[in-house]
Chain A
Amino acid sequence: MLTYTIRRLVLSLPTLLFISLVIFLLLQLAPGDPMAQVPLTVPPEVKQKMREALGLGAPIHVQYWKWLVQFFWIEPQVFIDWLTRDSFLLGWLPDTNLYNGQLRVISWQTRSPVMDIVMQRMPQTLWVVGMSYIVGILIALPIGIYSAYKQYSLFDQAGTFVSMIGFSIPPFFSGVLVIVIFSVNLGWFPSIYDTTHVVTDWASFKVQFNQMIMPVMVLALQTTAQISRFMRASMLDNLNQDYVRTARAKGLKESVVVLVHVLRNSMIPIITVIALGIPSIFGGAIITETLFKVNGIGQLLLTALFANDLPMVMTLTFIFAILIVLFNLIADVLYGILDPRIRYD
């Protein structure tokens, strides 16, 4: 298992490098000009100098190499410094001071390091999208279990219908729908997510709860739809197995048979499905974040795209790619650990 993990880790490096090259070349092909916003009164020579200052004069391979160095060598140094200086987890370690002022990946929009902005935006995304993922899973698992146990019952049919609806209603419609119903007509919840709100006491917690409930529910509907389908299929596979008949025959209670024997075996594929979905949490839900004005990662990517901020787009897309590759690996390894029948070596 360990050798398999190491082999996969080593193999994922060229994959990631290739993906970064693909994204880089895609952005290079793009016709956008970062100087488009500069006033026309600025003479062309000055514009040319500004372009070179942004690193655009150099040949493509030099630009790519510089980005690679900045992303893989300098940014980790900054991150380790931050970990040992300010973070709660490792703050007790002596300050490493690895970073001494080299050029980092700079956003063309704000002229500040891209990773700083990402770290500012991350908490909002993690709160809203991560919470919706957890809520979605918590709703999906019981639905999946019960509708498999009572296959073709009314509950099962209703569950299938609801998950079909969850698949079919896109978030930009369900989001608008809940805004119309709950903020416009009923006035229960605010339609705009206030990220500056700080939870200090019970009243402010209620405000936070109220503003989170709509985006979380919109996203959770989709997670629920997917995971409850998987859970139902996986439970159905296991319910007809021989070991279930054995367990019943030796007189175990029905709840033990279903919730211990069958559920534990059915969770194996579900855990990998859940792991595979985690990158999309960090990727942020671009549409939902835009709709509810949550200034998270997805919204950051969208604004960076419209502002032609190529370093930001490049770095964000590549972070998403890293997460996808990493969680694919984690899902495969978890599957091997949880299911002793699977042997990779």
Chain B
Amino acid sequence: MTDQNVNAAAAEIELYGALKDKEPPKEPRSQWRDVWDQFRKHKGALIGGGFLLFITLAVLIGPLIWQVDAKQLDIRNKDMRPLYTLLWDGDARTSWAKPLGSDNLGRDILATLIAGGRASMAVGWTAMILALFIGTAVGVSAGYFRRLDGPLMRLTDLFLSLPILPLLLVAVTLFRQPLRASFGPETGMFILIVGVIGITSWMQTARIVRGEILALKEREFILAARSIGTTPFKIIRRHLLPNVVSPIMVSATLGLATAIITESALSFLGVGFPSDFPTWGKLLSDAVPRMEEFPERVMLPGILISLTVLSVNYLGDGLRDALDPRIRGR
């Protein structure tokens, strides 16, 4: 009798023991920790992100360290070569005061590169944020409000069938004068270029966000939120937007890359910023006529543009992998 009881108790313990963990449970992990762990595995993305950070910091605090005015003319020390040309050409005109040489008016190339990077990055970031803002707004309203879906998506299709680069050129050439007159040459051009790039590059973001919102809208947690009387605006802000952050971040990196390239292309074609205001594209196009004698003036800004865009692209690639829960953990 007692034996049977003991046996039954032992069996019971055996039975429930299988349901218990043999070892203590792991620490709970947050989503962003997982994302970071996956992101770290992508070497290219890690290097890309590091380089982007480096460039951004360099153009932000560079002027504090290298305190040379980018617009300072020094005609006696014009056409200096960079220091590294000494490696193969001992007679080159170089100077430790101008480590990357000087241009045909004696402006220090290192200082102009930093100033140009400031302009290019500022245009890139602002245009990207503007495009993201428009794209997210259009995508969320088209996805959430059924009545707006048709018109907004037709608008997106329309924008997608516009020839973008010609229109950019048209807009920038034609509206340069009035904006310069009202905001001053530099601010006016900045507003114009950021505006046209932002207005012409939001469509992909809008499409992606709309698709995600359409799928999310039918999920139970939105139904629950609606059933307790949450207003549409609060549903969007509290429940929908946090869930579409990852596609938005990925398209942000793509947007940054295109914005930097577009700004440089406009500068290269001679419709960008005024001539005494350096940007990377402008430095490159100014250096083209004398590139046989001074190839570094073409190479340095070109390499900076390409490396920045390359690192942004790699960053986007890594982010896409890290933020996709189906790939993560594999």
Contact = CB atoms under 8 A, between A and B. Distances in A.
Given A19-B161, A165-B310, A287 B174 contact: no
Contact of B174 (A22, A32, A184, A302): A32
Interface in A289-345: 290, 301-302, 305-306, 313, 316-317, 320-321, 324-325, 328
A244 interface: no
The secondary-structure label for the interface of chain A is: helix
Contacts of B264: 170, 172
B174 A173 contact: no
A130 interface: no
A281 interface: no
A182 to B, nearest CB: 13
B265 A325 contact: no
The secondary-structure label for the interface of chain B is: helix
Given A173-B306, A180-B295, A328 B161 contact: yes
A287 B305 contact: no
Contacts, number: 119
A290 B305 CA distance: 20
B82 to A, nearest CB: 16
A317 B264 CA distance: 22
A168 B257 contact: yes
A31 interface: yes
B55 to A, nearest CB: 13
B75 interface: no
Contacts of A325: 161
**Across chains A and B, which 10 residue pairs bring their CB atoms closest together, nearest first?**
A30-B174, A320-B163, A173-B302, A168-B310, A168-B309, A172-B268, A169-B306, A324-B161, A170-B261, A317-B166
Interface of A: 15, 18-19, 22-23, 26-27, 29-32, 164-165, 167-170, 172-173, 176-177, 179-180, 184, 279, 283, 286-287, 290, 301-302, 305-306, 313, 316-317, 320-321, 324-325, 328
Given A15-B158, A168-B313, 16 more contacts: A15-B161, A26-B167, A29-B174, A30-B170, A170-B264, A172-B265, A172-B284, A173-B305, A176-B288, A176-B291, A177-B298, A180-B292, A180-B295, A286-B166, A301-B169, A302-B269
